[in-house]
Amino acid sequence: MAIIRPMRLADLKEVIQIEESSFPRPWSANTFLTQIAKDASICLVAEVDGRVVGYTIATQYVEVWHLLDLAVNKGYRRRYIATELLEQIFELCGQAKHRGYTLEVRKSNRGAIKMYESFGFICTGLRKGYYSDNGEDALIMWKDSEDMSA
């Protein structure tokens, strides 16, 4: 089991290493700093044996939570680290009224799509050519807040 806790500035070195090995267009350190400083954002890391092995960032615009970033160190994947991070995000976001959650994911990212679907996300649209590195489409996914789906 991982420890899930708020991201700190001191985590950024490990977070950026994971980010750079996970995405063709990784976020910069400044983008992480902006999110950490933002009241409307939740930035979490997963720690195993004192090491940061995954992280996620969600931010609220109006009444919707946007899942902006989620990655797990390659050597720690398929151990439910992302699942634990997402469960904690839903727990924290669910404390105040909102409409739901949205995210974009590469159409080819079958593993991530399967994981989001297991949490109740559904595909609601497509952004054609959304990813500038290869022109790939993004699926737009949506999940109702617990209040809305009750």
Ligand X SMILES: CC(C)(COP(=O)(O)OP(=O)(O)OC[C@H]1O[C@@H](n2cnc3c(N)ncnc32)[C@H](O)[C@@H]1OP(=O)(O)O)[C@@H](O)C(=O)NCCC(=O)NCCS
Q: Which residues bind ligand X (CB under 6 A)?
A: 22, 70-72, 77-83, 105, 109, 111-112, 114-115, 118
Q: In the annotation, is 55 catalytic?
A: no
Burial class (CB in 10 A: 0-12, 13-18, 19+), 101: buried
Smallest distance from the beta carbon of 77 to ligand X, in angstroms? 3
Active site residue 20: no
CB of 87 vs ligand X, minimal distance in Å: 9
Residue among 12 and 71 whose Cβ is closer to ligand X: 71
Catalytic residue among 47, 104, 130, 131: 104
Q: Which is nearer to ligand X, 91 or 147 (CB)?
A: 91
How far apart CA 109 and CA 8 sit, in angstroms, is 28
Closer to ligand X by Cβ: residue 44 or 81: 81
Rounded to a whole number of angstroms, the minimum distance from the CB of residue 25 to ligand X is 12
Element (H, E) at 71: strand 64-72
Question: Nearest-CB residue to ligand X?
Answer: 111
- The 3-state DSSP class for residue 26 equals coil
Residues 6 or more apart from 57 whose CB is under 8 A from it?
A: 7, 32, 35, 41, 42, 43, 44, 67, 68, 69, 70
Distance of CA 106 to the CA centre of its chain: 13
* Residues noted as catalytic: 104, 116
